[in-house]
Chains A and B, each alone.
Chain A
Amino acid sequence: GENVEQHPSTLSVQEGDSAVIKCTYSDSASNYFPWYKQELGKRPQLIIDIRSNVGEKKDQRIAVTLNKTAKHFSLHITETQPEDSAVYFCAASISPLNKLIFGAGTRLAVHP
């Protein structure tokens, strides 16, 4: 069935380092890949997304890359800051069911 695998489940970095979270998906028809950030006790919020017609997208310190052939996409955070500490969820669209399947999440801790 439809599946999105996300790694690692936890990630600990020093402030200023880079962080990379990777996801793989199973549905070759998936064409939309968002990333949501959930800070402790708060609701998930969209931070960046990418569609299948591009390979990379950047927004300040965050970037997402997509490899459709290998069916995986990654979130890159550079110059991490303590406020980046949160759980990050990747997701992939499932066609033609018109829904998103989420990964299990990555808990990122940025230490000062």
Chain B
Amino acid sequence: KAGVTQTPRYLIKTRGQQVTLSCSPISGHRSVSWYQQTPGQGLQFLFEYFSETQRNKGNFPGRFSGRQFSNSRSEMNVSTLELGDSALYLCASSRTGGSDEKLFFGSGTQLSVL
């Protein structure tokens, strides 16, 4: 069974640009969550999608958005990039997104904003 796949693996952007990250969950998993990982801040929850609907949202500005497609693949978009957006962005999938379900993480997209 293929694991969670994230593309691209690395991205370099400049301030003010926008970026789209992609996440393909494990087959059969309908929930996809996104996290921002920075040194010292741990894993900050961005949002969670289930059946093409955003069910939960963390405390990030509106520049961070996402969507989920009918095949459960998800994309995350960050507009008007800021230097502080440099981070590793991880997505995780689970069957139904229950808070007590095991999360399967992707390898992440390392975003650098110059």
Contact = CB atoms under 8 A, between A and B. Distances in A.
Interface in A78-112: 89, 91, 93-95, 97-105
B72 to A, nearest CB: 17
Contact of B42 (A1, A6, A94): A6
A32 B100 contact: yes
A95 B99 contact: yes
Contacts of B42: 6, 89, 102-105
Contacts of B108: 43
Nearest to A106: B42
A99 B34 CA distance: 11
Interface stretch (A44-52, A57-65, A66-74): A44-52
A102 B99 contact: no
Contacts of A98: 48, 55-56, 97-99
Given A44-B105, A45-B105, A99 B99 contact: yes
Give the dominant DSSP class at A's interface.
Answer: strand
A89 B43 contact: yes
A55 to B, nearest CB: 17
Contacts of A105: 42-43
Given A42-B107, A99-B33, A104 B41 contact: yes
Q: Which size class do B's interface residues fall under?
A: 20 to 34
A12 interface: no
A46 B100 CA distance: 12
A104 B99 contact: no
Given A43-B108, A97-B56, A102 B100 contact: no
B106 interface: yes
Nearest to B38: A104
A9 interface: yes
B90 interface: yes
Contacts of B44: 102
A51 B100 contact: yes
Contacts of B98: 98
